[in-house]
Amino acid sequence: MTGPRRVIIYTDGGCIGNPGPGGWAAILRYGEHIKELSGRFRETTNNRMELRAAIEGLEALTRPCPVVLVTDSNYLRQGITQWVHTWQRNGWRTASKQPVKNQDLWQRLLAAVARHEPAGGVEWQWTKGHAGEAWNERADRLANEAARSVTEDDPVDRE
């Protein structure tokens, strides 16, 4: 499942209100090495923060490698494993012919994932949020701290 050569990335994102001030976090683990990342936006959505957490985690890796990305977001996991390829075939339109929300971040995520394909790709794992999984709980705390620390000088993140 998660052999010694894989990087494990735990991600989370959220907002205070939706839309509202938001934060994202990614924790990268490789053996005993741990790197924590987080960021914040003055106005954004929960879904954009979940996407950003995955993007930032994958983009932080300095070279292609096999990755296990753990998320508590069904939107993120189902979007990248099920929906995104249909959206691409349909010209970034949903089944109801509406523009796909967050297309900019989905495209950036696809590029980040593709970078790791030659090395074994990205395996997407879902975990139940707030269920006691220590690394998921840590990512949640970091994302919430980021959202609570938003200032007027922070950027806006929306389509």
Predicted pLDDT at 1: 47
Contact 90, 98 (CB under 8 A): no
Contact 7, 65 (CB under 8 A): yes
Known catalytic residue: 39?
A: no
Q: Considering the chain, what is the average pLDDT of its residues?
A: 94
Known catalytic residue: 22?
A: no
Q: Is 137 annotated as a binding residue?
A: no
Predicted pLDDT at 138: 97
Active-site residue, selected from the candidate residues 14, 23, 39, 72: 72
Question: To which residue do tokens 């050569």 refer?
Answer: 5
Active-site residue, selected from the candidate residues 3, 91, 130, 152: 130
pLDDT at residue 3 tops 70:
no
pLDDT at residue 27 tops 90:
yes
Predicted pLDDT at 66: 96
Known catalytic residue: 130?
A: yes
What's the pLDDT tens digit per position in 55-75?
999 999 999 999 999 999 999
Mean pLDDT, range 119-127, rounded to an integer: 93
Q: Is the whole model's pTM more than 0.85, yes or no?
A: yes
Using CA atoms, how far apart are residues 32 and 42, in angstroms rounded to an integer?
A: 34
Q: Is 154 annotated as a binding residue?
A: no
Confidence class for position 106, pLDDT limits 50, 70, 90 = very high
* CATH fold of 7-148: Nucleotidyltransferase; domain 5 (3.30.420)
Q: Is 36 annotated as a binding residue?
A: no
19 preceded by cis ω (within 30°)? Answer: yes
Q: Is 157 annotated as a binding residue?
A: no
